[in-house]
Structure 1
Amino acid sequence: MKLTPITSGLLLGSSAVFFTAPASAEFLQDSKASLELRNFYFNRDFRQDNAAQAKAEEWAQGFMLRYESGFTEGTVGVGLDAIGILGVKLDSSPDRAGTGLLKRDREAPNRAQDEYGEYGLTAKLRASKSTLKVGTLIPKLPVLLSSDSRLLPQTFEGGQLTSLELDGLTFDAGHLRQVNQRDSSDYQDMGITTVGMKNIRAPSTTSDAFDFANLSYKWSDNLTTGYGYGRLENFYRQHQLNLNYLLPLGAGQSLKSDLRFARSSNEGGSNIDNKSFSGMVTYTNDGHALGLGYQRMSGETGFAYVNGSDAYLLNFVQISDFGNREERSWQARYDYNFAVIGVPGLTFMTRYVTGDGVELGAGRGNGEEWERDTDIAYVIQSGPLKNLGVKWRNATLRSTNFGNDLDENRLIVSYTLLLW
């Protein structure tokens, strides 16, 4: 982890307060620590003709140690968080590398390293109901969703302010400088996603500044609305609106609406120009949930988001984001919770997403794609292995005129041990 002067100053201040016994009582008493173990098997078969690689297949073990302190007493409370993560190779080979689970060897890019990891420190200050964090961050906001879909999470370096001063209103704002990707141990400048047919062009390939602000207001227990702004220097500016509404229908039934709109425009000489709309309505009846969704891209480019992060799109699924230039996509999803028949902890999900109208350019016509996903998960509810989780994720992706044809399986075994 690389520390800025501001971060270093806050960390020194946190340490000074920590060693002042009377002031550090709450700092220690309210602290908590956990160790998450994640065993991850990943298999992706490339089914298209002339694929550069027949399959990507690796198996790895991850360790994530997290510590969160309390805050010292006083008008301005001081605290310190820390995270240490380690990935260990269990199985890989040069012809099967590239799953995103493991770091590539610098001297032999086709080979995965035996292990990799990082540590991060985050200084924090709290006044009233507002908290400022500076250091290692894992943002989970509509304008920037840190990805945690592989062995280790994607982390960022910067500062973030979270304020809860007004009842029902959550305000976040911040500035990020660098990113450490899921399969890396090095912080680097940020970039923009290039997967699919986005038609995005920019004079620069990297950025060292992502600025963001996000407002979320809870009008009632059933209605929440939000606005977000994100700016990736040299690439784009983005405005987002979202709405979530839950309509109770009585006797274990409800109807949930999830609507999202984003407008992305150019920054720093790029050609980014995109409007995206996605919406889903989900009907729930006891353990059953059936959802129908629609997503539409319009403009000169596809949906823009930071490379390696997750896109805040309803049709961003296991493999594809369905966010290509001029793409229209539909989703049908079914969930079932086996707790209603006496098997708590066991859940099932399946969905089908189909997209068309992808603008390929240069007389190539339009592209189409579809993806089918299935998740089965079980979390042990009691006994010595309580909270041990097992999840199997299966996906099939097929495309016409662009992209890869993929069959994919992921098996994830996870356990979180609360240390104190």
Structure 2
Amino acid sequence: MKVMKWSVIALAVAAGTSQMALASQQSESKGFVEDASLDLLLRNTYFNRDYKDGVGDVRSWGQGFITTFESGFTQGTIGVGVDAYGILGVRLDGGKGYNYNAMFERDSNNEPERDLSQAGAAIKAQFSNTVIKYGNQFPSMPVLAYDDSRLLPESFTGTLITSNEIEGLELNAGRFTADSAMSSSSRDSVGLNSADVFGGSYQLNENLSASLYFSDVEDVYKKKYANVNYVMPMGAEQALSFDFNIYKTKYDNETIPDAFFGDGTFGDDSTIWSLAAKYSVGAHAFILAHQRVSGDAGYAYDLGDGGSSIWVANSYYSDFNWKDERSYQASYELDFSSFGAPGLFWKTAYVYGDNIDVASGEGKEREFFNQVQYVVQSGPVKDLSLKLRNSIYRSNGALRDAGSPDLNEIRAFVEYPLSIL
């Protein structure tokens, strides 16, 4: 979420006039074991989606164990290392009639799995401030981003190069050939042929940053993404910031199987952009945002590029990404640290969308979102996180006919990170 028009030439010029990074990450490496870390995240997730027509309600409750190991790099001109993970999810509730398939996939008997598990590893090499990694990993870029919003994280298999040779500039280039969904133990449950990605972000100064990315998911779509963020300090504990995001998508096929868009018929291209303004004063923040979709179709994602590859302002339960949709957001954030409760944070938002082009007429939708989170600051359970979010979603008849029914949703998370090494 960020502001302003940017181009490849402007990015290159700005990068070329920057100072080179002052220190080499590889020269500061202490060793494979000395810089290694081993962490365990205990995550308990409850999910309840109540459809107002009384049909298709889902609820699931699970316990997740997410173990990650990151080695350091061996010393020398080129350092090598290994990253690995092991994940286990155990279903605590959510039988055949109510299971949420985005948490636990179904077996050959159409029964939800009792547990899910997966292990993966990647080898990595570092030269100066550039790292190349091959294997199973969790990439997070605007056009290819793993989803970690349920019980277990989505993962990808492929190669990713990350370079920070110029101070303030990060460049990424990668090719991925497998995508494992959050609810699956399979290495490539999505059926990805290949996804190529290239781009980077640049911090021009402490107030202004920009990014530009390209991607190509084979036989699905090609995307371009741009983002600019500007923060304007306004005195003590006050600031005004602007965020602009834009995706331009070129679909490779006229028909892509995606039930969210009704019959799944796509045209040639789609554009979605959002602009958000945020005024922060002390513990308070007030946000206004506008988002628009144009072109032959709505904005599609999670078809080989990950469930989090939608970096726009109006993305909550609904992404407000239907064909020709215009949406408007008003939201408020409160950090309770100033009131003697550090670690407690609340966000509320209202988003309204209209002008949606669906077969039965103009679609309209609205969402009222609330989320409260508390992180324990000290004591024996320091860093224990409790998060509760609720979405109340309503649509008109035209949009309900297109497959977007009214619902109330609750998501609850309890997370406890443990540092083992």
TM-score norm. by structure 2 comes to 0.86
**Are the structure 2 counterparts of residues 269 and 322 from structure 1 closer, same or farther at C-alpha, using a change threshold of 3 Å?**
closer
Partner of 2:285: 289
Partner of 1:228: 213
**Contact 1:57/1:99 (<8 A) preserved:** no
Q: Which string of whole-angstrom CA distances, capped at 9 and with x for unpartnered residues, describes residues 63-100 of structure 1?
A: 00000000011111100000000000111211111252
- Partner of residue 279 from structure 1, selected from 275, 282, 285: 275
How far, CA to CA, are the matches of 1:56 and 1:268 in structure 2? 32
Partner of 1:249: 234
How far, CA to CA, are the matches of 1:65 and 1:141 in structure 2? 22
How far, CA to CA, are the matches of 2:223 and 2:97 in structure 1? 39
**Contact 1:38/1:415 (<8 A) preserved:** yes
**Contact 2:179/2:192 (<8 A) preserved:** no
Partner of 1:200: none
Which ranges in structure 1 are unaligned for 5 or more consecutive residues?
Answer: 1-23, 191-205
State the 1:316 CA deviation. 4.7
Partner of 1:19: none
Paired letter, 2:218: E
State the 1:103 CA deviation. 2.6
Q: Which string of whole-angstrom CA distances, capped at 9 and with x for unpartnered residues, describes residues 195-224 of structure 1?
A: xxxxxxxxxxx5411100121111001110
1:353 aligns with 2:351: yes
SS at match of 1:28: coil
1:304 aligns with 2:300: yes
Partner of 1:93: 95
Partner of 1:262: 247
SS at match of 2:302: coil
Paired letter, 1:39: N
**Contact 1:67/1:83 (<8 A) preserved:** yes
Q: Which string of whole-angstrom CA distances, capped at 9 and with x for unpartnered residues, describes residues 322-356 of structure 1?
A: 11111110111100000011110011000011101
**Contact 1:45/1:56 (<8 A) preserved:** yes
1:365 aligns with 2:361: yes
SS at match of 1:27: coil
**Are the structure 2 counterparts of residues 405 and 99 from structure 1 closer, same or farther at C-alpha, using a change threshold of 3 Å?**
farther
Partner of 2:35: 30
How far, CA to CA, are the matches of 2:244 and 2:395 in structure 1? 27
How far, CA to CA, are the matches of 2:117 and 2:380 in structure 1? 29
State the 1:311 CA deviation. 3.6
1:68 aligns with 2:64: no
State the 1:107 CA deviation. 2.2
Q: Which string of whole-angstrom CA distances, capped at 9 and with x for unpartnered residues, describes residues 393-416 of structure 1?
A: 111111112212110111111000
State the 1:262 CA deviation. 1.6
Partner of 2:383: 387
1:155 aligns with 2:167: no
Which ranges in structure 2 are unaligned for 5 or more consecutive residues?
Answer: 1-28, 256-266
Partner of 1:334: 332
SS at match of 1:29: coil
How far, CA to CA, are the matches of 2:118 and 2:47 in structure 1? 22
**Contact 2:278/2:288 (<8 A) preserved:** yes
Paired letter, 1:65: T
Aligned residues: 375
Paired letter, 2:287: G
Q: Which string of whole-angstrom CA distances, capped at 9 and with x for unpartnered residues, describes residues 222-243 of structure 1?
A: 1101100011111211111100
Paired letter, 2:113: Q
Partner of 1:410: 411
How far, CA to CA, are the matches of 1:108 and 1:237 in structure 2? 37
State the 1:265 CA deviation. 1.2
Partner of 1:194: none
Identical positions, percent? 36
Which structure would you say has the larger RCO, counting Cα contacts within 8 Å and 6 or more residues apart? 2
Partner of 2:194: 209
Deviation >4 Å, runs of 4+: none
**Contact 1:293/1:314 (<8 A) preserved:** no
Q: Which string of whole-angstrom CA distances, capped at 9 and with x for unpartnered residues, describes residues 250-290 of structure 1?
A: 11000111101121113256634111110100000011000
How far, CA to CA, are the matches of 1:417 and 1:189 in structure 2? 29
State the 1:167 CA deviation. 1.4
State the 1:155 CA deviation. 0.5
SS at match of 1:256: strand
State the 1:57 CA deviation. 1.0
State the 1:187 CA deviation. 2.1
State the 1:189 CA deviation. 6.2
State the 1:143 CA deviation. 0.9
How far, CA to CA, are the matches of 1:372 and 1:145 in structure 2? 26
**Contact 2:39/2:417 (<8 A) preserved:** yes
**Contact 2:275/2:313 (<8 A) preserved:** no
- Partner of residue 372 from structure 2, selected from 355, 360, 376: 376
How far, CA to CA, are the matches of 1:313 and 1:131 in structure 2? 25
How far, CA to CA, are the matches of 2:179 and 2:50 in structure 1? 29
TM-score norm. by structure 1 comes to 0.86
1:131 aligns with 2:131: yes
SS at match of 1:309: coil
How far, CA to CA, are the matches of 1:133 and 1:311 in structure 2? 21
Question: How large is the RMSD of aligned CA atoms in angstroms?
Answer: 1.5
Residues 4-23 of structure 1 correspond to what in structure 2 (within 5 A)? none
SS at match of 2:32: helix
How far, CA to CA, are the matches of 1:216 and 1:108 in structure 2? 47
Please, which moves more after superposition, 37-46 or 257-266? 257-266
SS at match of 1:383: coil
How far, CA to CA, are the matches of 1:379 and 1:83 in structure 2? 24
